[in-house]
Amino acid sequence: MNFLELLKKPNLIAAHRGDRSQKPENTLSALESSIGKCDFIEIDVQLTKDLVPVIIHDNTLGRTSNVSKIKKFEERTPWRVSDFTLEELQSLDFGSWFYHEYEPILTLKKALLFAKEKHLFLNVEIKDMSGAFADEIVVQIIIDMIKKTKTEHLILLSSFYHPYLPICKKHSPNIPTAALQMYKHPSDLIEYLHALQVDAYHPEDKITNQKTVASLRKAGFFVNVFTVNQTKRQKKLFDWGVNAIFTDFLV
Ligand code: G3P
Ligand code: MG
């Protein structure tokens, strides 16, 4: 089964940043803890200064690492991910902000190999790195890693930064893509999504309504909604025809 075939199944649950209510988000432990509790796992990817794709949500390191406690990095505020090399990130702890255990930075390569070994589906969200790196470079590096690890069939690529999405399709037409959206739908939504050549639309829950879901589904787009933690709301969205919901709480 590939990711598009998975999306044809009803009422899918996606683990938002892994099992982030139990383990530090976007770490290997968070991925491990999601196994058996969801249909796919969402992770966020960014590039290091030396162009290595790593799994982290914020574009700065302060919230989810111990960088603020490390003397040699005190002059490096605001601790942007794109200003640190992989080796520097490997000297940090991505667990202690959450609990009393050390967790290393997770690389995309390691996440992909883990997904392959455990037969897990991954939604890789490409964070907006347009302020630091050229769009072509960002997409090329991520797709190259997916191809190198032979995990194309396990992956759905998404981004809030929509210019990445047609570039993904150009490099790898077989990997499904999704446009993420907050605050307001783009005007002429269906035509807009066709122009991006995406397979799915990922709106935030706040802007999701029954009419929009129906028209997207009728037009052939999968609809996956974030972040929906209330069971009652999840059920309503599934009743409307939503394919998947992203949640912080897995059962
Ligand atoms: O991909 C769904 C969701 O992760 C998008 O928002 O900010 O949590 O990455 P964010
Ligand atoms: Mg995300």
At 153-168, the pLDDT tens digits run: 999 999 999 999 999 9
User: CA 53, CA 45: separation in Å to the nearest integer?
Assistant: 6
Closest-approaching ligand to the CA atom of 248: 1
Q: Is 158 part of any domain?
A: yes
pLDDT at 45: 99
Looking only at the bridges linking them, the beta strands covering 106-107 and 122-126 are unpaired
Q: Is 76 part of any domain?
A: no
Centre of ligand 1 from the C-alpha of residue 162, in Å: 14
pLDDT at 102: 98
Q: Is 173 part of any domain?
A: yes
Closest-approaching ligand to the CA atom of 226: 1
Centre of ligand 2 from the C-alpha of residue 43, in Å: 6
pLDDT at 91: 98
Residue nearest to atom 4 of ligand 1 (CA): 16
Q: How many domains does the chain have?
A: 1
Q: Is 53 part of any domain?
A: yes
Centre of ligand 2 from the C-alpha of residue 76, in Å: 25
- Which residues lie with the beta carbon below 6 Å from any ligand 1 atom? 16, 42, 44, 57, 125, 158, 180, 202, 226, 246
Mean pLDDT of the chain: 98
pLDDT at 195: 98
Q: Is 180 part of any domain?
A: yes
The answer to whether residues 155 and 138 touch, using CB atoms and an 8 Å cutoff, is: no
Q: What is the C-alpha radius of gyration for the chain, rounded to an integer number of angstroms?
A: 18
Centre of ligand 2 from the C-alpha of residue 66, in Å: 21
pLDDT at 42: 99
Quote the tokens at residue 218. Answer: 């009728």
pLDDT at 113: 99
Q: What is the DSSP string of the chain?
A: --HHHHHTSSSEEEEETTTTTTS-TTSHHHHHHHTTT-SEEEEEEEE-TTS-EEE-SSSBSTTTSSGGG-GGGGGGTT-BGGGS-HHHHTTS-SSTTTSSS--PPEEHHHHHHHHHHHT--EEEEE---TTTS-HHHHHHHHHHHHHHTT-GGGEEEEESSTTHHHHHHHH-TTS-EEEEE-SSPPSSHHHHHHHHT-SEEEEBGGG--HHHHHHHHHTT-EEEEB----HHHHHHHHHHT--EEEES---
Per-residue pLDDT for the chain (251 aa), expressed as one digit of tens each?
999 999 999 999 999 999 999 999 999 999 999 999 999 999 999 999 999 999 999 999 999 999 999 999 999 999 999 999 999 999 999 999 999 999 999 999 999 999 999 999 999 999 999 999 999 999 999 999 999 999 999 999 999 999 999 999 999 999 999 999 999 999 999 999 999 999 999 999 999 999 999 999 999 999 999 999 999 999 999 999 999 999 999 99
Give pTM, 2 decimals: 0.98
Q: Is 75 part of any domain?
A: no
User: CA 153, CA 2: separation in Å to the nearest integer?
Assistant: 5
Domain span including residue 112: 3-61+106-247
pLDDT at 96: 98
Ligand 1 atom with minimal separation from the 17 CA:
4
Centre of ligand 2 from the C-alpha of residue 225, in Å: 12
Q: Is 67 part of any domain?
A: no
Q: Is 28 part of any domain?
A: yes
Number of other residues whose CB lies within 10 A of the CB of residue 1: 11
- Maximum C-alpha span of the chain: 56
**At 224, which CATH number?**
3.20.20.190
Handedness of CA 223, 170, 121, 134 (dihedral sign): negative
Q: Which of 25, 125, 223, 242 to mutate to test the pocket of ligand 1 (most atoms within 8 A of CB)?
A: 125
